Amino acid sequence: MKNGMEGGRFTALGHSRGLSSAASGHGSASSTAASVHGDHPSHFSSLASVQTSGPLSSLPSRSEGARALPTRTTSLSGKSDRLHRLEQRLSGLHAGLEKQRQQRYQHLIEKLQHVEEDVADVSAAGNEAQSVFREELRKIEADLRERQSELETDLARREQQTQEMERRLTRMLQTEQEALREVETSLMNAFTEKTKALREEILQSGQLREEQEASLRHYCEVEIPRLRDGLQQEVRERENMERRILKHAAEEVERLNGQLAAEREARERHLQSLLSLFEEVVREVQRDIAREKEDREKMQEDLVHLMEQTIDRITTSI
C-alpha cells in the first residue's frame, strides 16, 4: 500500500513536471511572440512563470510520506484539477496568441500591399508627369524653332527693305546729280551763248569802227567837223555801250554765281537731309533689332526659369 502511494506520488510529480515544461514552453513562445510583435502584455510571461513554478511548489515532497492517505488523495485530485484548468487556460492563451499573431501578420501584409500600391501610384504619376514634361519640352522646342524661323524671315525682310531703300536713295541721288549736271550744262550754254553774242557784238563794233575810220579817211577833208563830232559822239556811245555791256555781263555773271551758290547750298541741304533720314532709318532698324534680341533673351530666360520650376516641382513630388 505504501509502495502504491509512493508510485502515485512520483506519477503526479512527473505529470506536474511535464505540465511545467509545457507551461514554460508556452511562456517562451509567448515571450518570443511578444518580442516579435512588440506590443503583447507582460502578464503573459508572468502568468507562464506562475504556472511553471506554481505546480512544482505545490507538489508534495518526499518528507511528507508520514501524512494520512485520504489527505494525500484529496490533494492529488485537487492538484490534477488545478493542472487541468491551467492547461486549458494555457491552451486558450496559446490559441489567442496564435490568432493575434495571425491577425498582426495579416495586418502587416495589408500594410505592405497598401505601400506597394502607393509606390505603384507614385511611379505611375511620375511617369505621367515625365511624359507631360517631355511633351511640354517638345512644344517649347517647336515654338522656339517657329520663333527662330519668324525672326530669320523678319531679318531677311528688313534686310531686303534696307537694300531697297539704299537702291532708292541711290537712284534719287543719281537723279539729283543728273539734274544738277543738266542745270550746270544749261548755265554754261547760256553763258557761252551770251559771251559769243558779246564777242560778235564787239567784232561788229570793231568792224564798224574800221568802216568809220575808212569813211573818216575818205571824208576827212570834207566832213571833218561833222565826222569829228559824230566820232566823238560815237566814241562816247561806244564807251557807254561798253560800260553797259560790261556792267550787264558782270551782273549776269554775279547772278549766275549766286544761282550756282544757291543751287550748291540747296543740293548740300538736300544731301544732308537724305543722310539724316538714312541715319535715322539705320538707327531705327538697330533699335528694332536690339529690342527683338532683348525680347528673345527675356523669353528664353522665362522658358529656362519655367523649366527649372517644373523640374523642381517634379523632384519635390518624387
- Write the pLDDT tens digit of every residue in 142-160: 888 888 888 888 888 888 8
For residue range 5-59, list pLDDT tens digits in order. Answer: 444 444 444 444 443 443 344 444 343 333 334 333 333 333 333 333 443 333 3
* Model confidence pLDDT, tens digit, residues 221-277: 776 677 677 778 888 888 888 888 888 888 888 888 888 888 888 888 888 888 888
Q: Is pLDDT at 72 greater than 80 in this prediction? A: no
> For 63, how many CA atoms within 13 A lie in the half-sphere containing its CB?
0
Residue 22 is predicted with a pLDDT of 39
d(CA 158, CA 287): 13
Predicted local distance difference test score (pLDDT) of residue 71: 55
**For residue 187, how many other CB atoms are within 10 A of its CB?**
14
Range in 55-69, 108-122, 126-140, 260-274 the model is least confident about: 55-69
Whole-number pLDDT of residue 73? 61
pLDDT of residue 148: 83
Exposed, middle or buried: residue 23 (CB in 10 Å: 0-12, 13-18, 19+)?
Answer: buried
Residue 206 is predicted with a pLDDT of 81
Instruction: Reply yes or no on whether the pLDDT at 69 is more than 80.
Output: no
Q: Which tens digits make up the pLDDT trace of 286-317? A: 888 888 888 888 888 888 888 888 787 777 77
120's grid cell: 505603384
| Residue 153, pLDDT score | 86
**Number of C-alpha atoms within 13 angstroms, CB side, residue 71?**
6
Give yes or no for a contact between 20 and 56, defined as CB atoms under 8 angstroms apart: yes
What pLDDT does 114 receive?
82
Within 8 A by CB and 6+ apart from 99, the residues are: none
pLDDT on residue 3: 42
Residue type for position 41: P
DSSP secondary structure code for residue 318 in this structure: -
